[in-house]
């Protein structure tokens, strides 16, 4: 129990420091409604948000509703999202997902994790992105950055994303779940990068298992 209490205190400090260092830690994907965020999040798998935003600039002008995607020419949709990579699988997921939205939810994106994860192409990560950034429902997003940074800092020893999510849920205040996820995502992009983290400029180095052990 003492270790968990220590981790909770460490998380409080991390949130304070990173909130000052990254005051605009909002999600980088551009969207104007929940459906657009859902589509953008599916496209973001193994692709940069910058590239996704370039693709969706035109995509969202053409496809306005779940029915538009559900009834789209699949070959055309594939080519329109091709720059995001894995475009055939993503196009199928988007179309099947939107067909289910039309069939089961009246074309609207559902508001619960339990319903969201029943949609094709939607796992817990995508569901939590939607919940936190569209509906204001707290959710921890374990993407590649949150996975790497939370392990490197020492907030979890698990490797499985779902187990990491549940570990973080135990030590992060629920009202901070979405905010904390966005902070770690930006921190992972800018400072705690994958191959060679920039520990010498890291504002939370003293709170990090990895960084605190390095020689100054």
Catalytic sites, residue numbers: 125, 143
> Do the beta carbons of residue 189 and residue 145 sit within 8 Å?
yes
Alpha helices for 64-173 (secondary structure H): 66-70, 74-80, 87-105, 113-116, 124-134, 144-153, 161-171
Q: Which of 200, 201, 206, 211 is nearest to 149 (CA)?
A: 211
What is the greatest pairwise CA distance in the chain?
Answer: 59
> Do the beta carbons of residue 18 and residue 190 sit within 8 Å?
no
Q: What is the C-alpha separation between 146 and 167, in angstroms, rounded?
A: 12
Q: What is the C-alpha separation between 3 and 156, in angstroms, rounded?
A: 12
Q: Which residues contact 104 (CB under 8 A, 6 or more apart)?
A: none
């Amino acid at each position: 129990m003492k270790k968990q209490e220590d981790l909770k205190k460490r998380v409080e400090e991390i949130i304070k420091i990173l909130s000052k260092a990254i005051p605009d830690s909002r999600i980088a994907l551009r969207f104007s409604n929940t459906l657009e965020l859902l589509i953008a999040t599916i496209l973001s798998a193994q692709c940069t948000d910058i590239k996704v935003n370039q693709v969706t600039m035109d995509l969202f002008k053409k496809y306005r509703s779940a029915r538009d995607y559900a009834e789209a020419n699949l070959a055309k949709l594939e080519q329109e999202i091709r720059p995001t990579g894995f475009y055939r699988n993503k196009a199928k997921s988007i179309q099947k997902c939107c067909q289910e939205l039309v069939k089961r939810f009246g074309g609207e994106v559902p508001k619960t994790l339990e319903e969201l994860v029943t949609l094709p192409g939607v796992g817990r990560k995508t569901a939590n992105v939607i919940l936190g950034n569209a509906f204001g429902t707290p959710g921890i997003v374990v993407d590649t950055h949150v996975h790497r940074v939370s392990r490197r800092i020492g907030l979890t020893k698990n490797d499985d994303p779902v187990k990491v999510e549940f570990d973080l849920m135990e030590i992060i205040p629920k009202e901070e779940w979405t905010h904390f996820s966005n902070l770690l995502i930006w921190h992972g992009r800018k400072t705690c990068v994958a191959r060679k983290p920039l520990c010498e400029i890291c504002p939370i180095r003293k709170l990090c298992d990895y960084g605190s052990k390095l020689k100054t």
